[in-house]
Chain A
Amino acid sequence: GDSVTQMEGPVTLSEEAFLTINCTYTATGYPSLFWYVQYPGEGLQLLLKATKADDKGSNKGFEATYRKETTSFHLEKGSVQVSDSAVYFCALSDLRDDKIIFGKGTRLHILP
């Protein structure tokens, strides 16, 4: 079945560092891809999405490009802030139903 694999955390970076969180997926069809973020004490929020190959999703300085050839959707940010500390979830949905398949999450710590 469909699945999502993302890098284990925690990831610890200094403020203003470059961030990459790797995500790869396995799917039989052509899924839409998502990054959700969970700040401490809160539920998940949709951060960005891409619905077809070569699409780039972006929001709040974060970007991810849908790479069909490598089945990847890596999350990047050029300069992280302390407020970016959270757990990041890569996810996919084939949109045939409303099921979303989530990865295990990657915890990000940003040090001032």
Chain B
Amino acid sequence: ETGVTQTPRHLVMGMTNKKSLKCEQHLGHNAMYWYKQSAKKPLELMFVYNFKEQTENNSVPSRFSPECPNSSHLFLHLHTLQPEDSALYLCASSQDSRIPTGEQYFGPGTRLTVT
């Protein structure tokens, strides 16, 4: 595998379910990001991790819970979601968020539908 991978690619869940999204990067990067992409809206940055430490939580509701066990893996745990949380969730990585370049590498995303 190369680049940034995300699983699953599609997920349908009820509002009472608990599920997790997984992201893995094979680029040797140290920073990882979660974004939410909704139709007709700009990408929304949700969380940033650098060297496994969370450095940004962009006022995200607590029903979204990130986890970064190491620099290569990032999870987004989901519980009691709302229909308005349906979106494409994108993971990205960069070399080191303390040395910003504006260059981030994105995975293909997980299309989430909350019913």
**Contacts from A to B (Cβ < 8 Å):** 4, 32, 34, 41-46, 49, 89, 91, 93, 95-105
| A-binding segment of B11-19, B42-50, B60-68 | B42-50
Q: Is the interface of B mostly helix, strand, loop or mixed?
A: loop
Residues of B within 8 Å of A34, CB to CB, are: 102
Q: Are the CB atoms of A98 and B48 closer together than 8 Å?
A: yes
Total CB contacts across the A-B interface at under 8 A:
57
| Chain B residue, CB-CB nearest to A94 | B100
- B10-39 vs A, CB cutoff 8 Å, 1 = contact: the mask equals 000000000000000000000100000000
Interface size class of B (residues with CB under 8 A): 20 to 34
Residues of A within 8 Å of B92, CB to CB, are: 43-44
Residues of A within 8 Å of B45, CB to CB, are: 99-100
**Contacts from B to A (Cβ < 8 Å):** 4, 31, 40-43, 45, 48, 56, 90-92, 94, 97-98, 100-109
| Chain A residue, CB-CB nearest to B101 | A95
Q: Are the CB atoms of B97 and A98 closer together than 8 Å?
A: yes
Q: Are the CB atoms of A43 and B90 closer together than 8 Å?
A: yes
Q: Are the CB atoms of A43 and B42 closer together than 8 Å?
A: no
Residues of B within 8 Å of A46, CB to CB, are: 102-104
Q: Are the CB atoms of A102 and B108 closer together than 8 Å?
A: no
Bound together, the chains give a CA A108 to CA B101 distance in angstroms of 27
| Chain A residue, CB-CB nearest to B5 | A43
Q: Are the CB atoms of B97 and A44 closer together than 8 Å?
A: no
Q: Are the CB atoms of A44 and B106 closer together than 8 Å?
A: yes
Bound together, the chains give a CA A44 to CA B102 distance in angstroms of 13
Residues of B within 8 Å of A101, CB to CB, are: 42
Residues of A within 8 Å of B91, CB to CB, are: 43
